[in-house]
Amino acid sequence: MDGKTTTMLPSWETVGTAVLLIFSCTLIYGTFHLFSLIPRTEPGIRGLQDERRSEAQLDRPAPPLKASNHVHDGKYHLLLAATGSVATIKIPNILSALAKYKNLSIRVLLSDSAAEFLQGQAGEQPGLQEITKIKNVEAIYRDEDEWRKPWVRGDSILHIELRRWADLMVIAPLSANSLAKLALGFSDNMVSSVARAWDTTGLIDGLREGVQLAPTENGEAKKVIMVAPSMNTAMWNHPATKRHLDVMADDWNVGNGGWFEILQPIDKGLACGDTGGGAMKEWKEIVAAVEAKFPGLREREQDVKMNGVVK
């Protein structure tokens, strides 16, 4: 050893390999970047879904609501809500059956999940714009309608106005998730906010003058919330579901003239292929329950045939 340091230079072969590798990476990146700039001529699945959803949406947002403007309109007020269950496709049936009453006003309230079932994807699933054409449907509300413009002092609060306006709130279907929200007091969307803000005592809103409501089991006429649970059989049999129902039975006085009523689900074949409990009560029975709450409903004469069968 003479103490000198020897520096090893790379061979021309090594340098050439490195240059070739760098060039290849640059070429691949450039190719991908170029293709990303080319517009697609065929919409993907997401694009088709967005196009379909756009066509099914409302032409304009739901109109502002001031409940005090409707106190003396001479009509029953039904707030019909739906949450994320396939049984939401029965909403058009319920609305169509109630369209025969000339003194009934209906406002529809949909959670985001429920609205996904009414995008015009099938004959039994019309878009929201078509649903607004059904008689008696005054408006359809979504979560975003609460915040159409920045709120300032003096503005109305939509979920409170809906509560004041309604003589009866029906949630059909009530999903497992929304059942849990109601039982635990959550109010993170429009449906749960109206339910949480409901006048459970009857001392805040009271009954509108001239409005005749059927009395509850304790003989007292009051504004109630009526729900029709709908979920998979395993969900219905889950211990959590029992706990939530127990809260309603024990704390909300269900079945004993309280302000909250449950239309028990039925056993049948479900959309998922399972058979068992948890299916929403038949829509015709839900219509009958609404009719029973409003004993003064009057049919439109032109909608009744000579034999008494409603068109």
- Could you give the residue numbers annotated as active site? 272
- Contacts made by residues 196-200, CB under 8 angstroms, sequence distance 24+: 197/159, 197/160, 197/163, 198/163, 198/169, 198/223, 198/225, 198/259, 199/163, 199/223, 200/252, 200/259
Q: How far apart are CA 143 and CA 141, in angstroms?
A: 7
The tokens 């959309």 sit on which residue? 271
Taking the alpha carbons at both ends of the chain, their separation in whole angstroms is 110
Q: How far apart are CA 250 and CA 247, in angstroms?
A: 5
Count H helices and E strands in the chain, helices first. Answer: 11, 8
Q: How far apart are CA 80 and CA 200, in angstroms?
A: 18
By C-alpha distance, which of 181, 185, 180, 191 is closest to 146? 191
Residue 173 one-letter amino acid:
P
